[in-house]
A and B are shown apart, each in its own frame.
Chain A
Amino acid sequence: DSGVTQTPKHLITATGQRVTLRCSPRSGDLSVYWYQQSLDQGLQFLIQYYNGEERAKGNILERFSAQQFPDLHSELNLSSLELGDSALYFCASSPSTAVEAFFGQGTRLTVV
């Protein structure tokens, strides 16, 4: 158990809908990362937050947004969902930057 909690574990929704994925980092970790893993794109870095502020951005679509709250939990919002958004979404946390990251078990999103 990495100490990073992601909810829900599974999510099935229809195209055009909006969903929110939640991540609780390890106690004391200030940095949160979001990743998308699909068969054709591999593990893609989406965004990083550090102590509530966005610090690095990767291949995150405009339909996606994220935030980190004062209690350090983070949410990833996916809107206008398309079939191609079906993937595993991982959250990871670390105490600071440039150190090892601890991954949650992921949320498997299926868009039908």
Chain B
Amino acid sequence: SQQGEEDPQALSIQEGENATMNCSYKTSINNLQWYRQNSGRGLVHLILIRSNEREKHSGRLRVTLDTSKKSSSLLITASRAADTASYFCATDTFSFTGGGNKLTFGTGTQLKVEL
């Protein structure tokens, strides 16, 4: 089952524009993470925001977290063609059965940045 649902499913923009992706989730989280995946390759971690944080920046990335609405957004500013990829949010939740954690991924947003 998917914990997170991303919106939009696909996004096409011009180089230099900003891209915003949204993620909604269902249960309480330890943290929320964003990952990027280039076609058929491994996922690359972009940024982690803890449940007690509201906003975080890393280079051209800005992430917000609203735990009351169970939602997060990823903003990529001044996009480049090289940003073309799928972007996933992942919620880190505590596993009561084993004491570990589950990192559960959303459905992803396919971003295409055109020249």
Contacts and interface: CB of A to CB of B under 8 A. Distances in A.
Interface of A: 2, 4, 31, 33, 35, 42-43, 45, 48, 50, 53-59, 88, 90, 92, 97-106, 108
Interface in B79-110: 88, 92, 95, 97-108
A57 B44 contact: no
What secondary structure prevails in chain A residues at the interface with B? strand
Given A42-B107, A88-B40, A90-B43, A48 B2 contact: no
Contacts, number: 78
Contacts of A102: 45
A100 B100 CA distance: 14
Give the interface size bracket for B toward A.
Answer: 20 to 34
Interface of B: 1-2, 30-31, 33, 35, 40-45, 48, 88, 92, 95, 97-108
Given A103-B43, A104-B42, A45 B98 contact: no
B95 A105 contact: no
Given A42-B108, A59-B1, A97 B100 contact: yes
A56 B102 contact: yes
Interface centre among B30, B33, B43, B48 (most CB of A within 10 A): B43
